[in-house]
Amino acid sequence: MTVTPAERADIVKRLIHPRSIAVIGASADLGKINGRPLKHLLEKGYGGQILPVNPKYTEIAGLPCFPSIAQLPVAADLAIVAVPASEVLVCIEALGKRGIRAAVIFSSGFGEMGIAGKALEQSLVDQARASGVVLCGPNCLGFINAFDNVYATFSQYADGDTGSGPIAFVTQSGAFGTAIAALVRQRGLGLGYFINTGNEIDLAFSELMMAVIEDPRIRVAAGYLEGLDDGAALVRLAQRCQALGKPLVLTKVGRMASGARAAASHTGALAVEDAVFDAVIRQYGVLRARNEEQMLDILEALSQPRAAQGFGLGIATQSGGAGVMMADRAEEMGLSVPELSAPIRARLATVMPAFGAAGNPVDVTGQFVARPELLRESVVALLDDPDIHIGIVWLQLMTAHVDTLVRIFAEIQARTTKPFFVCWVAAPAEAIQRLRAMGIVVYSAGERAVEAASALARYCEFQRRATVDGRSASVRETTLPPVIVNGVQPSVQATEWLRHAGIPMATVSLAKTEDEAVLLWRTAGRAVALKVESPDITHKTEIGGVLLKLNDEAAIRDGYQLLMRRAKQALPDARLSGILVQPMASGHLELVVGVQRDSVFGMIVMVGLGGVLVEVLKDVVFRRAPFDTEEGLRMLAELRMGALLDGVRGQPAVDRNAIARLLSDLAQWAYGMAPVLAELDLNPVMVGPEGPIAVDCVMVLHDERGGGDKAS
Amino acid sequence: MTVTPAERADIVKRLIHPRSIAVIGASADLGKINGRPLKHLLEKGYGGQILPVNPKYTEIAGLPCFPSIAQLPVAADLAIVAVPASEVLVCIEALGKRGIRAAVIFSSGFGEMGIAGKALEQSLVDQARASGVVLCGPNCLGFINAFDNVYATFSQYADGDTGSGPIAFVTQSGAFGTAIAALVRQRGLGLGYFINTGNEIDLAFSELMMAVIEDPRIRVAAGYLEGLDDGAALVRLAQRCQALGKPLVLTKVGRMASGARAAASHTGALAVEDAVFDAVIRQYGVLRARNEEQMLDILEALSQPRAAQGFGLGIATQSGGAGVMMADRAEEMGLSVPELSAPIRARLATVMPAFGAAGNPVDVTGQFVARPELLRESVVALLDDPDIHIGIVWLQLMTAHVDTLVRIFAEIQARTTKPFFVCWVAAPAEAIQRLRAMGIVVYSAGERAVEAASALARYCEFQRRATVDGRSASVRETTLPPVIVNGVQPSVQATEWLRHAGIPMATVSLAKTEDEAVLLWRTAGRAVALKVESPDITHKTEIGGVLLKLNDEAAIRDGYQLLMRRAKQALPDARLSGILVQPMASGHLELVVGVQRDSVFGMIVMVGLGGVLVEVLKDVVFRRAPFDTEEGLRMLAELRMGALLDGVRGQPAVDRNAIARLLSDLAQWAYGMAPVLAELDLNPVMVGPEGPIAVDCVMVLHDERGGGDKAS
């Protein structure tokens, strides 16, 4: 049964906002997995129809219970399936027949259970498709729509208070997700939606988040990920969040490289899953939280409505040391802690006690206990400085002064339009609750407050930038070669394609004889490099297949013979096409530039600083194609050794714009070539005062259009 | 009045364990700063004599109050001074006359208050010395000795429960220190001592900590620092802690470089305060906590008595994702997450449910709620693996199962001798309290548990190593030159000294004429470098004063003239000694090695990877001299680009031992030269298959013996 995209969207909407819910396999024991949804729906006041299905009962908790799906009086908007794995397929078939189009499957025993489980899961996919039923799960805790009191879940999180709030939280992990939801509750932030996606055989993370992010009551999207198949869907989600002005915050486990993959190019070897994920989500303005605590800290900063108009942080403390610690962390996190303007310094001097410090950080000392206006006027003055965009006030304990301090913070909040956070170490619980109730953001540790402020500033900066440049790199048409041979491409051919795409490539010609090589050298009129050319030799230097700076006939002739001999010795069966002749390029810096077709995110462009810096430091940066030159410049800004581009040890600076243009042009071309381009290395790209020029390239094609040549 | 070291030690001991306490300027209002110590001493049951002094009262809170210090009936072991700054000096004089030898000064208005305050502070120093009174403070919150109920403090921390515990905490900051103390209390860890050092005009951090660390009831020393004058005292403290088997954990604010200092050498420019502090404390086995939260996490891990016999971490979770996150963090923190042995895997397979993972991390899933023995047997099996040295169990919520889980964790604790931590996210408060009461370490977040485990493992590793090598690099005698000229030393002289100290130095000779240069080249029998030599030119390359690889007579003669011309052009007034002739050294790697006399820690040796890696990446490592070759090897292991030493891009590996020997020999020599050596750069040290050889050196002497030549 075919479901159109519009129908599917409608079914998903009904799944999340059901007017009626059937609970298949409902238990009369409301403490069990198959009883808990009933308990929550009843206790928390779900307004729609609840329809338990179980032949063993005629009634559960006062509700009529139906003996089978077929006998349900209505085609419910949602079915909760809580039966053993072996019964799930029959269930789905029955749901389809009864006209029920959406199901959440709690049952485990599928893909997570080895080969037999995977086979059963595939059958479930097939059954759902045949029956036209859209699935969430299996092996999931279900979901909560707190606005409408929909508790299609057996998560422990539902046991406590689950008051609605501005955060939509979608999690791939049940256990970790429940923990995060409970932490959100501890902070009093409130989840509007809690959704556990389980094995994601049908509805996956991005589609479910996309369905709830439109809700005007949702202000922030939060996600916990363990893996991702559909990068394009995540990018669409990020773009939609950007358009709606709602931040997307993700925690994804699996930071470390899971071992090098087999790849012909450096780019392929370096473009490991997490590095690409991290780069791409940053490119589209997603904030990544490194763990659950940082997730909560960032959510709290983003749940308040004020935007940061820049990266200037103002810090007020009652401890000089805490100020230094926060200022240090601010610098590490890309915030500035600006000097204050003269008028603001003068204002501070009138309110500050003599032994406080009237700079930034401003140390108000413990004197504010005696004179509360001291704290208030200092912080307001600090926030009035035009270079300050976010404020943090640090204090500790003060159990005896909660009333006074809560009042002061409320007054500060009312006298500024800038976001300001309280960092209250070892705070009385009452103080935190009262501040949060007033919409004031509170942290328990200085560095955490700074990290959250940094996330807010980065989000706001991305939104400003996105508004200005529209994120719409215009994509040029690329004419794909009609028929290709899969595998490593001949250098002359590859160079020609890239030059046609606007990439500055060093001239290269193939000599099939010694005499041809000499002629090519004479034509070049300068020193040349000779390189062995063979479809079977990807890394020429490894077999000694490159000779540099040859500039007389004898050297050319000797070199030609030497390279042919070396290639035959190293790889007796290699097909030798001849020797490439290339005029020597100049440039004092080496870059590595490349493209990798990523199974999740598509065409990924990489730039790195060459030589040992790539090999040992792995100083490389990734972006998803296509992108514009502004994005190329941002890539260069992210290189750890990027200072080399500006000239060190007496070397001249290079033209960052020219490199950014190369990256953007390559990204445009690679995007168009996506169906056939598997990997590309431009290594090295020499960069000197005249701009970048690629002097070697390895291009691997693999046609995925279906009709291509699958040989080699 | 002179106080001998033995007398001073005795006075400090009495200060901390007083049999009688006078409170100078005591207030009858027990809520005020000068009333609070009385309140706490009375309420918390101090067993000694309490002697309030204030002419305004005859009695405070039932205690007789004395009109003046002179009229005190006994020479109290300790005086608490809580009078205005202007009255403190008179007070100290009176204390001395009455035979009271120790005082804690709460009063502020000294060094923290600008020039006038600094002058008053110097007078206080003089008065205390003249009166033979040992001071803690001024401008401090005082201290608590919780074992003897000594509350010589007005800190807010004293308001709540201050039950004693195994941690001695000394803090330079009052406000931040109070916050940390309150956090320790929240964790139920317990402070045996809480000491705020204030302005440290007499007793400073290390001496006070040294006085309390000997107490057998103390198991861990914790410190909060903002600055340090006496590095040698901190090193002695660290060594004493090591000998006692008590870890020292420090948080120090001020991580970021406070701007480059003016220095003739690279080493001087790179050896900024925090980098040196960080390296030196690590060298002596001190653990550094980056902030107050990490401090608490580490203290909790170290307060339990079990040692980790290695770096192998075993992880059990009910969430695969949490396991991945913790394993990633473990790798970043230097822990391993080993594969389990075949017998342990077999044991796990018998207890694990089919859909859990029986590796490491082991995923026990939520099934343990139904079968608690599953969790217990899995974790015990994991901890029985010989490659596992610390265990972490991760779980969340489980509000309904606290009794069961507490019992299981107690059983696990009883069945292993290895340290194991519980990480319980969003835990019921009751569960945490009960586990901590049983001596089980509990964390609230997975990464924090891993970081604490790493700290425990690193501490135990340091203790093992210290026991083996005794930390006693034998120090050779260095004969100091009797008279020196301050400033940059002539290259030939400096080279000669270093060669005599066993440092491999490239031969260098000074030619005063062209003919001499030619003769020296002929004697070398190979290509040479020419370098201009002048006491006024420190960085020869910057004026084009170095020519490399000259190997015929004409080149030598031309080079000689060229360098003399360049030097005269660049610095017309420079004194030109001649031209250095040095046979070209070989080696494919460049190191920078140096020495810096640090005002806090003394002679500091640096090693770094040369060229752009030092300039942009600042890939350098420091150690305090002297040290042995083992420590030299550890320096090399800490270089971020250290993989270069093992050969990349086809280059051969170099001999790490030979470099470590150079570092150790240099450290020995520099230690002996401490009175006269200010800075030294060996830059570059070329390293090839034949070992390291220094080809250029800049040595700056500055005689601090008093009798030296202070010219230049």
Which pLDDT tens digit goes with each residue over A396-451?
999 889 999 999 999 999 999 999 999 999 999 999 999 999 999 999 999 999 99
- Sequence-ordered list of residues with C-beta below 8 angstroms from that of A447, at least 6 positions apart, any chain: A325, A326, A329, B290, B291, B293
pLDDT: which is higher, B541 or B155: B155
pLDDT tens, residue by residue, B44-94: 999 999 999 999 999 999 999 999 999 999 999 999 999 999 999 999 999
Residues B286, A693: Cα–Cα separation, whole Å? 51
Specify the pLDDT at position B244. 96
Q: Over 60: is that where the pLDDT of A709 sits?
A: no
pLDDT tens, residue by residue, A144-166: 999 999 999 999 999 989 989 99
Q: Residue A328 has which token pair?
A: 């240090």
CA–CA distances in Å: residue A286 to residues A8, A305, A623, B168:
26, 18, 14, 44
**Band of residue A379 on the pLDDT scale cut at 50, 70, 90:** very high
Specify the pLDDT at position B616. 82
Q: Over 90: is that where the pLDDT of A473 sits?
A: no
Longest dimension (CA), chain B: 100
Angle between helices B174-187 and B292-303 (to 10 degrees): 40
Residues B192, B166: Cα–Cα separation, whole Å? 6
Sheet holding B509-511, edge to edge: B509-511, B578-583, B528-533, B546-550
The answer to whether the CB of A205 falls within 8 A of the CB of A225 is: yes
Give, as one character, the DSSP assignment of residue A615: I
Q: Which of A161, A162, A290, A396 to mutate to test the interface with B (most CBs of B within 10 A)?
A: A396
**Band of residue B227 on the pLDDT scale cut at 50, 70, 90:** confident
Among the partner-chain residues A182, A398, A425, the one whose CB lies closest to the CB of B396 is A182
Residues A198, A208: Cα–Cα separation, whole Å? 12
Backbone angles phi, psi at A526, to 5 degrees: -160, 180
- Across the range A229-253, mean pLDDT stands at 96
Q: Which amino acid is at A599?
A: S
A446 chain-B contacts, CB cut-off 8 A:
291-292
Across A35-44, A97-106, A342-351, least confident range = A342-351
B318 chain-A contacts, CB cut-off 8 A:
175
pLDDT tens, residue by residue, B582-602: 999 888 899 999 999 999 999
Q: Over 60: is that where the pLDDT of B556 sits?
A: yes
If you measure CA to CA, which chain B residue comes closest to A317?
B175
pLDDT tens, residue by residue, B299-338: 999 999 999 999 999 999 988 889 999 999 999 999 999 9
The pLDDT > 90 percentage for chain A reads: 79
B445 chain-A contacts, CB cut-off 8 A:
291-293
Specify the pLDDT at position A257. 52
- Can you give A478-491 as a three-state secondary structure string? CCCCCCCECEECCH
DSSP string, B506-559: ---EEESSHHHHHHHHHHHTS-EEEEEE-TT-S-GGGGT-EEEEE-SHHHHHHH
Q: Which amino acid is at B457?
A: A
- Output the pTM of the full model: 0.93
Q: Over 50: is that where the pLDDT of B145 sits?
A: yes
A224 chain-B contacts, CB cut-off 8 A:
321
Among the partner-chain residues A172, A366, A648, the one whose CB lies closest to the CB of B615 is A648
- Across the range B658-679, mean pLDDT stands at 95
Residues B372, B377: Cα–Cα separation, whole Å? 9
Residues A508, A693: Cα–Cα separation, whole Å? 12
Q: Over 60: is that where the pLDDT of A250 sits?
A: yes
Which value does ipTM take for this structure?
A: 0.92
Counting beta carbons within 10 angstroms of the beta carbon of residue B81, is it exposed (0 to 12), middle (13 to 18) or buried (19 or more)?
buried
Specify the pLDDT at position B483. 79
Specify the pLDDT at position B473. 54
Q: Residue B193 has which token pair?
A: 């001592």
- Across the range A453-475, mean pLDDT stands at 81
Specify the pLDDT at position B259. 40
Per the listing, tokens 């899971």 go with A258
Residues A107, B181: Cα–Cα separation, whole Å? 48
**Which residues, in sequence order, are bridge partners of residue A66?**
A53
pLDDT tens, residue by residue, B258-278: 443 456 677 777 777 889 999
| Whether residue B84 has a cis bond before it, omega within 30° of 0 | no
HSE-CB for A230 with a 13 A CA cutoff:
14
A255 chain-B contacts, CB cut-off 8 A:
328
CB contact burial A328-356 (16+ within 10 A = b; e otherwise): bbbbebebbbbebeeebbebbeebbbebb
Residues A485, A709: Cα–Cα separation, whole Å? 6
Specify the pLDDT at position A424. 97
Residues A273, A292: Cα–Cα separation, whole Å? 21
- Can you give B468-484 as a three-state secondary structure string? HHCCCCCCCCCCCCCCC
Between strands A167-171 and A150-153, the pairing is unpaired
Question: How far away is chain B from the Cα of A224, in angstroms, using its nearest Cα?
Answer: 9
Residues A680, A170: Cα–Cα separation, whole Å? 36
B396 chain-A contacts, CB cut-off 8 A:
156, 175-176, 178-179, 182
DSSP strands (E only) in A146-215 = 150-153, 167-171, 191-196
Specify the pLDDT at position B106. 97
Give, as one character, the DSSP assignment of residue A617: I
Report the candidate in B585, B482, B511, B651 with the shortest Cα–Cα distance to residue A611.
B651
Sign (positive or negative) of CA dihedral B73, B74, B80, B86:
positive
pLDDT tens, residue by residue, B597-654: 999 999 999 999 987 778 788 899 999 999 999 999 999 999 998 888 998 777 889 9
- Helix ranges (H only) for A74-113 are 85-97
Specify the pLDDT at position A471. 47
Residues A375, A393: Cα–Cα separation, whole Å? 9
Among the partner-chain residues A176, A186, A254, the one whose CB lies closest to the CB of B328 is A254
Specify the pLDDT at position B606. 97
If you measure CA to CA, which chain B residue comes closest to A651?
B612
CA–CA distances in Å: residue A42 to residues A52, A151, A267, B508:
12, 9, 56, 91
Task: Quote the mean pLDDT of chain B.
Answer: 92
Residues A216, A168: Cα–Cα separation, whole Å? 11
Specify the pLDDT at position B354. 65
Q: Over 50: is that where the pLDDT of A261 sits?
A: no
DSSP string, B110-126: SGGGHHHHHHHHHHHHH
pLDDT tens, residue by residue, A82-110: 999 999 999 999 999 999 999 999 999 99
Question: How far away is chain A from the Cα of B234, in angstroms, using its nearest Cα?
Answer: 20
- N-terminal to C-terminal alpha carbon distance within chain A: 39
**Band of residue A708 on the pLDDT scale cut at 50, 70, 90:** very low
Specify the pLDDT at position A474. 63
CA–CA distances in Å: residue A473 to residues A603, A626, B341, B679:
15, 7, 54, 54
**Cβ pair B354:A113 closer than 8 A:** yes
Q: Over 50: is that where the pLDDT of B711 sits?
A: no
Specify the pLDDT at position A371. 83
The answer to whether the CB of B79 falls within 8 A of the CB of B89 is: no
The pLDDT > 70 percentage for chain A reads: 96
Specify the pLDDT at position B582. 95
The answer to whether the CB of B362 falls within 8 A of the CB of B382 is: yes
Specify the pLDDT at position A106. 97
A113 chain-B contacts, CB cut-off 8 A:
354-355
| Whether residue B138 has a cis bond before it, omega within 30° of 0 | yes
Give, as one character, the DSSP assignment of residue B595: E
CB contact burial A172-186 (16+ within 10 A = b; e otherwise): bbbbbbbbbbbbbbe
If you measure CA to CA, which chain B residue comes closest to A253?
B325
Residues A351, B204: Cα–Cα separation, whole Å? 32
Q: Which amino acid is at B549?
A: K
Specify the pLDDT at position B176. 94
CA B367 to chain centre: 45
The answer to whether the CB of A651 falls within 8 A of the CB of B623 is: no
Residues A150, A172: Cα–Cα separation, whole Å? 19
Counting beta carbons within 10 angstroms of the beta carbon of residue B667, is it exposed (0 to 12), middle (13 to 18) or buried (19 or more)?
buried
The answer to whether the CB of B345 falls within 8 A of the CB of B469 is: no
Among the partner-chain residues A156, A292, A641, the one whose CB lies closest to the CB of B445 is A292
Among the partner-chain residues A328, A426, A648, the one whose CB lies closest to the CB of B612 is A648
